[in-house]
Every structure is written in C-alpha cells, then in structure tokens.
Amino acid sequence: MSKRIVALGLAAAAALGVAPAGAEEKSGFFDWVHGDWYLTVGAAGFAAPEFEGASDMVFRATPMISLGKAGPEARFTSRNDNISLSFMDTGAFRAGAVGKIVFPRDSDDSDELDGLSDVKWGAELGAFAEFYPTDWLRVRGELRQGVFAHQGMAGDIAVDAFKDVTEAIRVSGGPRLSFASADYFETYYGVDAGESAASGLAEYDPGGGLKSAGVGGAITWKATEKVTASLFGEYARLLGPAADSSLVKERGSVDQFMVGLSTTYRFDFTVP
C-alpha cells in the first residue's frame, strides 16, 4: 500500500515541476503558479443508488470544482470529472491532480446494510489525464488512492463524444469503465465471518478487478460566458468482484442508474 502512495506522490511532484505549454520560463520550483488561472465551482444534485450495489435510489448532492492555468478554453468538461487541479494543459492534452469526496455508508440508513460495518466519510486522491483524439472526442482517465473511507485504489476511464447543436447547447455521451483494488472491494462489497453472522449474508472475500461498465450522457446549456447548467444520466452494470458480492446478489442489483442536474460558475483571476 505504501508503495502505491509513494508512487502517487512522485507523480504529483513531477506534475508540479511541469509548466504549461507557452508559459514564461522562471527559475523557481513554484514559479508555475504565476499567471492567469480559472476556478470553476458548482454543485450537482442527483438521484443515485442508496449505497454501492443497492437497488433503491436516494437524492444526493456533491460539489463540482476545477482549478487550472488559463489557456485555450477546455473543449469539453463532464459532471463525471472529479475535483481537478490541472498542472499541464496544451489544449490537446491535460493532466494534474484529482480528488473525490467519498460519502459514508451507515448500516442504520438501510435495512439491507444491517449487520455490515459502517464506512466513514473520506476522500480519494490521485492523478488524472485526458486527451482529444479528434476535435469532438475526449478520453479521460483517473487513478485515486482512498483516504479514511477505504485504503484501496480506484480508477475510471470515460470516453465522450460531444456536439454543439446550437451556440449555447451541447449534447455529449459515451462509454464508462471503472476498476478497483481488493482493498476497495473489501470495504464496499466484502462480508467477513462476523458480518455474515450478524447480517445473514454469505461470506465474501473479493479480489481486485473491473468494477463496472456502462454509458452516460448529458445535455449542457451555456447560459452565459461563465454560467453552465447540465442535465445528465448514467447507467453502470456491476462486474467481477462487485457483481459477485453476496450483498449485491441477495439484497441489491447489478444495474446502477443515476440522473440529475448540475450548474457551475467560472472565476478568472491572476497570481502575480
């Protein structure tokens, strides 16, 4: 586990030392912070499974934050993009640090979780990279290490085709793929001997592998130069260690749906 954390730290350190293309060369290690920046903040409200693998849905809300050096306007952004800090942006390629808020799972919140261990609030921290094979297609990948909530690794790959149907309205969509380590699956899908006795679920000790495959799409409205709103939907089919869990087989569903609305506002500022 420590080796993975060190690797993420080295990757972040390497990214910190890379100045965006076209930036003025300076001698200091942190001189990359000088210049024009943007900060996009907002929120998304959506209906989603009550817990990972659940069949029932509840309403949730989550912040949307993106910070990076100003340059060519991003060709495409998605609600699926977790909180991002871009260290490198050439227009065709973008990379940096990423973070995700992890919601808690309380056994008192659902009868299906009776007898299972609670999962704390936490986060996942790591790196992201995205590139554009064409002017209308983006490929983005994230790799994150769990903090507090779980000790595993989790990652996502998303491909989105996008089309501007008017100057203000864009439609987009494409396939999704998620994967995770054994420690992640143990936290959310595992059932040890004590939990089995307390819950009545069969014992389950998962390994790592693919978590889900699915598809998502959105309709985005650029209300002003700085304000954007979006209607989005996602479907994911649980696979491998997630689909094989006794929690999913006996009390949940391999079919996971999400639908919601989001809105963001962009701030522009300069670091002297």
Of 192, 189, 164, 160, nearest to 79 by C-alpha is: 160
For the chain, report the end-to-end CA distance as a whole number of angstroms.
39
Of 71, 36, 69, nearest to 272 by C-alpha is: 36
Instruction: Let me know if residue 86 belongs to a domain.
Output: yes
Instruction: Let me know if residue 230 belongs to a domain.
Output: yes
Q: How many Å apart are CA 4 and CA 10, to the nearest integer?
A: 10
Instruction: Let me know if residue 28 belongs to a domain.
Output: no
Please state the rounded mean pLDDT for residues 194-199.
Answer: 96
Which CATH number fits the domain that encloses residue 127?
2.40.230
Q: How many Å apart are CA 164 and CA 23, to the nearest integer?
A: 30
| DSSP-derived secondary structure for 97-166 | EEEEEE--B-GGG-GGGTTSPPB--EEEEEEEEEEEEETTEEEEEEEEEEESS-SSEEEEEEEEEEEESS
- In which domain, by residue range, is 190 found? 2-21+34-104+115-271
For position 164, what pLDDT does the model report?
95
Confidence at 125, pLDDT banded by 50, 70, 90: very high
| 253 in Cβ contact with 43 (< 8 Å) | no
The domain tally of the chain equals 1
- The encoded tokens of residue 191 equal 């059932």
pTM for the whole thing?
0.82
Q: How many Å apart are CA 37 and CA 41, to the nearest integer?
A: 13
Please state the rounded mean pLDDT for residues 244-266.
Answer: 96
Q: How many Å apart are CA 94 and CA 18, to the nearest integer?
A: 12
H/E element, 38: strand 35-49
Instruction: Let me know if residue 197 belongs to a domain.
Output: yes
Instruction: Let me know if residue 27 belongs to a domain.
Output: no
Neighbours of 258 (CB within 10 A): 20
Instruction: Let me know if residue 237 belongs to a domain.
Output: yes
Instruction: Let me know if residue 176 belongs to a domain.
Output: yes
For position 76, what pLDDT does the model report?
85
Ranges of beta strands (E only) in 148-271 are: 153-164, 169-180, 209-222, 227-238, 255-271
Confidence at 29, pLDDT banded by 50, 70, 90: low
Confidence at 34, pLDDT banded by 50, 70, 90: confident
One-letter amino acid at 250 equals E
For position 67, what pLDDT does the model report?
80
Instruction: Let me know if residue 185 belongs to a domain.
Output: yes
For position 169, what pLDDT does the model report?
97
Among the residue ranges 26-35, 112-121, 169-178, the one predicted with the least confidence is 26-35
